[in-house]
Amino acid sequence: MRYQLLLLDIDGTLRPHGQACIPAANVAAVAAVQAAGVRVAVATGRGRASVTDRLMNGLHPDYWLCAAGAQVVDAAGTPLYEKTMTAAAVEAVTQFCAEHGWPVRFTFADGSYAYVGYEVFAAQEARVDHGIALKDGSARTRHQQSLPYSAYGAFPPGAAAAFAARWPGLGLRFFYEGGAAFALSDVPASCDILPAGVDKADGLRVLCAAAGIGPAACAAVGDSDNDAPLLRAAGLGVCVAGGSAAALAAADRVGLPAEENAVAALCRELWPEAFA
C-alpha cells in the first residue's frame, strides 16, 4: 500500500462550503479506506472543540490535526503536540485588530473566544452555522488562564505585513482565506494567525512519527493557504478544484471540486481494493 496515512482538510474539502456537515459519500469512502488499513487524520484550522459530531456526520479519524498544526491529538484525545501563542502575541493581535475595528477570535482548548467583534462572529455563525464553539471573550482575559493555539480574524491584504513590521519579534504566521465564504464584516479577507514556526506540515511530521511512517507514505487533500505547507510535505498533495492560488501551486495535482465529493473520488482511485 503506497499511501498509509490520509490527511483531510474539513472546510472546503471534506465539507463543501454551504453544507452543514460532511456529505455521506465522503464519510462512507473514508470509512472504507480505514477498514482497508489506511489511517486517517483530519487536518483543519478549527480547534478540536469546534469540530462537532454533527459536522463529522459519523466520520471517526484516527488523528486530529487542529488549529492548523498547533494542536495534534489522537483518536482518544491524547495530546501528541501542542504549540501556543504567547501572551504578548495575543495582546498585540488584539490591540492591532481593536485599533482597526477588525473582528478576531482566539482558539483555546475549550472553544473560540472572540476578543474583538463578538457580535460579527455570532451573526456569521447564525447565518452559516459553521459549528464553531464561539464564546464571548470581550473581557480579553481568557489567555490569563491558558494560552490559545491560534487566532482567526478579518485581516485585509497587506495587514499582515504591517503587523509584522510593528511587532517584528513575534514571528506570527498569517495564512489567508478569501471570498464570500470567509468575509467578516466589511473586510473582504480573513486569515488564520499561527505561532512562529507552526503550520500543518509540522502536524504531518508529528503524525508520521506517531504512525511510524515517512511523509512519502502520506496523501493530503486541502483547498486553502493553510493547506499549502501540508500539500508540499506529503508524498501526494491534492488541491480540490477551486482552491486558493497557494494551495494549487503547492499541490502535485488538482482533484474534483468539493461539491462533487472530491475526497470520495480520490479514495476510490488510490485504494480501489477498499471498494472491491
Domains and CATH numbers, the chain: 5-82+198-275 (3.40.50.1000), 87-194 (3.30.1240.10)
- Of 3, 4, 23, nearest to 12 by C-alpha is 23
State the Cα–Cα distance between residues 242 and 158, nearest whole angstrom: 23
Please, which pLDDT band fits residue 178 given cuts at 50, 70 and 90? low
What are the b/e assignments for 136-147, b being 16+ CB within 10 Å?
ebeebebbeeeb
Question: 207-215 — which CB contacts under 8 Å span 24+ positions?
Answer: 207/5, 207/7, 207/41, 207/63, 207/65, 207/72, 207/80, 208/5, 210/63, 210/74, 210/80, 211/4, 211/5, 211/39, 213/4, 213/5
**For cell 471573550, what's the residue?**
137
> Using CB atoms within 10 A of its CB, is residue 188 exposed (0-12), middle (13-18) or buried (19+)?
middle
| Mean pLDDT, the chain, integer | 94
Give percent above pLDDT 90 in the chain: 87
Q: Nearest 10 degrees: CA dihedral of 193, 248, 269, 74?
A: -10
Q: pTM value?
A: 0.94
Q: What is the pLDDT of residue 1?
A: 80
pLDDT at 148 over 50: yes
Please, which pLDDT band fits residue 181 given cuts at 50, 70 and 90? very low
**For cell 464553531, what's the residue?**
132
Residues 205-263: pLDDT tens digits? 999 999 999 999 999 999 999 999 999 999 999 999 999 999 999 999 999 999 999 99
- The answer to whether 47 and 108 have CB atoms below 8 angstroms apart is yes
Q: What is the pLDDT of residue 179?
A: 44
Q: Nearest 10 degrees: CA dihedral of 275, 204, 135, 91?
A: -160
